[in-house]
């Protein structure tokens, strides 16, 4: 009896060894997806054993990743894969709108008969980066004044911005009194950071020329230039708009006029007396 049981288990183990299905390859179309974008996941399965294999169950575990099935479910069954043959199955998925930009590991379970194995595949979300520079405020009113210009750096893209560095380029329209380079670092999605530069503005309505260097969540490097318009007035324009007061001393003029009138009447009175 022991010999029969031993022989049975030996035959069972040989059968399992001779019937093995493994993931040979996988890919996605497109290779990188945006949040909310659809994709097709193709998985190639190969029978690496010596026997035909029937009723192979392939199951995706999406419980810990921001993906969901579309037309198909997370499970598919292959009726048969002959020995040394392969089959390809396709899953229609969508990246959830809140998916962050990174590479996600997805467990794939392949089961047939008593044989079960879990492997990992990867799906990449590569959200677009977008950063805007917005003029916030300034205490500079007219040309040749000295003051501060405050700018907002707004992340309105779909992924975090890292290692943000801002360089204010030299230009005849302004003189930079502070450091021309500022390191900001991280700017989260739908967030902003404010920074200021100390300047003397040499012309009305100048443009600030900025260079931005940063990386996205996947450490892809970006470099771009921005131009920021400022509303700066000439002294005459600022006076007309009431932004500055006329420095002309009317009181002094009035006193002079009063003195002239008094002197005039004094001399006239003295003449009449004579």
Domain total for the chain? 2
Residues 93 and 157 in one domain: no
Q: Among 125, 150, 166, which residue terminates a domain?
A: 125
- CATH number of the domain encompassing residue 42: 2.60.40.10
Can you give the residue range of the structural domain that contains 69? Answer: 20-125
Residues 176 and 235 in one domain: yes
* Closest CA relative to residue 126, chosen from 155, 94, 157, 159: 159
Residues 35 and 73 in one domain: yes
Residues 27 and 111 in one domain: yes
Query: In 3-state terms, what secondary structure has residue 191?
Result: strand
Instruction: Tell me how far apart the alpha carbons of residues 198 and 204 are, in angstroms, rounded to a whole number.
Output: 17
Q: Among 81, 105, 125, which residue terminates a domain?
A: 125
In a domain, 2, yes or no: no
Specify the higher pLDDT residue, 267 or 26.
26
Residues 147 and 217 in one domain: yes
Query: In 3-state terms, what secondary structure has residue 14?
Result: helix
Residues 41 and 107 in one domain: yes
pLDDT in tens, 168-223: 999 999 999 999 999 999 999 889 999 999 999 998 889 999 999 999 887 889 99
Q: Check whether 6 has a pLDDT greater than 90.
A: no
Residues 74 and 154 in one domain: no
pLDDT in tens, 93-132: 999 988 888 899 999 999 988 888 999 999 999 888 899 9
Residues 218 and 142 in one domain: yes
Residues 118 and 32 in one domain: yes
Specify the higher pLDDT residue, 4 or 271.
271
The pLDDT assigned to 84 comes to 83
Instruction: Tell me how far apart the alpha carbons of residues 59 and 70 are, in angstroms, rounded to a whole number.
Output: 15
Residues 107 and 170 in one domain: no
pLDDT in tens, 157-168: 888 899 999 999
CA distances from 163 to 134, 167, 194, 212 (A): 19, 13, 15, 10
């Amino acid at each position: 009896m022991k010999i029969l049981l031993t022989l049975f288990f030996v035959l069972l183990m040989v059968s399992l060894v001779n019937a093995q299905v493994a993931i040979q390859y996988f890919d996605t179309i497109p290779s990188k997806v945006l949040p909310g974008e659809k994709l097709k996941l193709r998985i190639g399965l190969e029978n690496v054993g010596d026997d035909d294999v029937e009723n192979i169950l392939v199951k995706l575990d999406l419980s810990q990743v921001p993906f969901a099935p579309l037309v198909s479910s997370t499970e598919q069954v292959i009726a048969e894969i002959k020995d040394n043959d392969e089959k390809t199955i396709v899953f229609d998925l969508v990246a959830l709108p809140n998916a962050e930009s990174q590479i996600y590991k997805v467990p794939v379970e392949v089961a047939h008969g008593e044989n079960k194995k879990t492997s990992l595949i990867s799906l990449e979300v590569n959200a677009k980066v977008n950063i805007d520079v917005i003029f916030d405020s300034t205490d500079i009113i007219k040309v040749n004044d000295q003051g501060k210009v405050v700018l907002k750096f707004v992340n309105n893209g779909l992924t975090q911005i890292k290692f943000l560095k801002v360089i204010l380029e030299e230009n005849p329209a302004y003189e930079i009194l502070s450091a021309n380079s500022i390191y900001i670092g991280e700017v989260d999605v739908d967030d902003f950071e404010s920074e200021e530069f100390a300047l003397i503005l040499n012309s009305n309505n100048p443009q600030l020329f900025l260079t931005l260097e940063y990386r996205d969540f996947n450490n892809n490097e970006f470099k771009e230039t921005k131009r920021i318009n400022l509303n700066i007035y000439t002294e005459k324009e600022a006076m007309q708009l009431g932004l500055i007061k006329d420095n002309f001393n009317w009181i002094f003029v009035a006193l002079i006029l009063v003195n002239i009138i008094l002197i005039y009447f004094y001399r006239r009175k003295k003449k009449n007396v004579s």
